[in-house]
Amino acid sequence: MIRFENISVKYTLKSKQEVEAVRGVTLEIGEGEIFGIVGTSGAGKSTLLRTINLLQRPTDGRILIGGNDITHLRGESLRQLRLTTGMIFQHFNLIHNKTVFDNIAFAMRSAGKSKSEIERRVPEVLELVGLLDKAKSYPSNLSGGQKQRVGIARSIANDPQILLCDEPTSALDMETTQSILDLLKEINNRLKITTVIISHEMDVIKKICDKVAVMSKGEVVETGDVFRIFAVPEHPFTKQLVNSTLDLELPRKLNENRTKRLFKLVYRGERAEEPVISETVRKFPVDMNILHGKIEYIAEQPIGVLILNLEGAKESVDSAVSYLKTRVAEVEELHA
């Protein structure tokens, strides 16, 4: 659907210095996907995203949308591209002096929609984002989450094929973030809009994306299914980003107690819901104690860690461990 071919973006600063914000990015975003771009501040995420609707022109490379090269579009054809590409922003960017209704009406008038069409469609999109009663309010009277909902309503009013989201939840609290992400997911599901979402938080990516590209210093260092990225990150930078998901801090006391045999079990994928633990205890004469654990579901697949203490004869424990190794992704003995 969206294809970046060797995209580079250079900014020329006032001091004539050049900054290469995006370097040789090649990337493919599939139709209907929710595609995440993650990276630290200044990695070039916004710059890359903004090339999709040419708010930022690439210095090098090509961008194809649905097979058409859009890199050099200008004037009316550029406007047409933008009419079919919705965008939402971290700071919402609503017109302060227009009501919610008029904000959305503005987007539709820009697309040449008739008055009757606007009268019909605006309540429809407001209903979809759950703000039908706020049509006559001004943005300043809305909460952050509500403002973003208006932003979303505005961005989909013209039935776009693509929705670009630049840090859509970074100005919101955790609860509101969740509800906005749910809404974006629902819209993606219902309207099949290809959604590209930028975030510096792995959490956001984890919650709604199908695929993700990891950016660092202007380059895409790794890309893949969200689950794969979390389960087996390859690039050191990615590892650092996803670390918190698989790493568990053991309390100091346990860590120092060398008399007990501790094992770390790592789950990656469908095996987490199988009764691995109880089966092991039934099959081998060992006692098992779960000391710590965390399991998360990413793209509906479990991923997580358990820290166990196994007690019993050495041979029994060893064979229990060998058995466990056949059932979960990884078993590692801690300070063995």
Partner 1 sequence: MLSLSVTGLITDLIKAFMETFLMCGISIFISIVLGLPLGLFIYITREGLFWQNRILHLIGGLLVNIVRSTPFVILLVLLIPVTHMLTGTTIGPLAASVPLSVAAVAFYARLVEGSLVEVDKGVLEAATAMGATNGRIIREVLLVEALPGLLRGLTVTVVSLVGYTAMAGIVGGGGVGDLAIRFGYYRYETNVMIITVVLLIVLVQVIQSLGELIAGETDKR
Ligand X SMILES: Nc1ncnc2c1ncn2[C@@H]1O[C@H](COP(=O)(O)OP(=O)(O)OP(=O)(O)O)[C@@H](O)[C@H]1O
List of residues contacting partner 1 (CB under 8 A): 53, 55, 79-83, 85, 87, 89, 91, 93-98, 106-107, 109-111, 138-140, 154, 158, 164
Name residue, tokens 């970046």: 4
Identify the residue among 42, 123, 224, 312 touching ligand X (CB under 6 A): 42
Burial class (CB in 10 A: 0-12, 13-18, 19+), 190: exposed
Identify the residue among 36, 39, 58, 160 touching ligand X (CB under 6 A): 39
41 binds, among Mg ion, ligand X, partner 1, none (CB under 5 to 8 A by kind): ligand X
Footprint of Mg ion on residues 42-61 (CB under 5 A)? 46
Asked if 169 touches Mg ion (CB under 5 A), the answer is: no
Instruction: Closer to Mg ion by CB, 46 or 155: give it.
Output: 46
Rounded CA-CA distance 122/103 in Å is 10
Instruction: Closer to ligand X by CB, 44 or 233: give it.
Output: 44
Q: In a 3-state reduction of DSSP, which class is residue 269?
A: coil
Instruction: Closer to ligand X by CB, 17 or 116: give it.
Output: 17
Burial class (CB in 10 A: 0-12, 13-18, 19+), 225: middle
97 binds, among partner 1, ligand X, Mg ion, none (CB under 5 to 8 A by kind): partner 1
Element (H, E) at 166: strand 162-166
How near is the Cβ of 95 to partner 1 at its closest, in Å?
Answer: 6
Encoded amino acid at 103, one letter: N
Rounded CA-CA distance 265/246 in Å is 10
Question: Residues touching ligand X: how many (CB under 6 A)?
Answer: 13
Identify the residue among 33, 35, 47, 87 touching ligand X (CB under 6 A): 47
On the CB side of 130, how many CA atoms lie within 13 Å of its CA? Answer: 13
111 binds, among ligand X, Mg ion, partner 1, none (CB under 5 to 8 A by kind): partner 1
Residue 81: count other Cβ atoms within 10 Å of its Cβ: 17
| DSSP β-bridge partners for residue 216 | 219
Which region among 11-19, 75-83, 234-242, 270-278 touches ligand X (by CB under 6 A)? 11-19
Rounded CA-CA distance 37/52 in Å is 13
134 binds, among Mg ion, ligand X, partner 1, none (CB under 5 to 8 A by kind): none
Rounded to the nearest 10°, the torsion over CA 130, 132, 135, 139 is: -20
Tokens representing 258 are 């060398």
How near is the Cβ of 56 to Mg ion at its closest, in Å?
Answer: 11
Annotate each residue in 181-210 with x if it binds ligand X (CB under 6 A) or - if it does not, as one string: -------------------x----------
Return the CA Rg of the chain. 25
Instruction: Closer to partner 1 by CB, 160 or 218: give it.
Output: 160
Helix 144-156 with 115-128: angle, nearest 10 deg = 130
Rounded CA-CA distance 305/231 in Å is 11
How near is the Cβ of 113 to partner 1 at its closest, in Å?
Answer: 12
42 binds, among partner 1, ligand X, Mg ion, none (CB under 5 to 8 A by kind): ligand X
> Where on the chain is the footprint of Mg ion (CB under 5 A)?
46
> Where on the chain is the footprint of ligand X (CB under 6 A)?
11, 13, 19, 21, 39, 41-47, 200
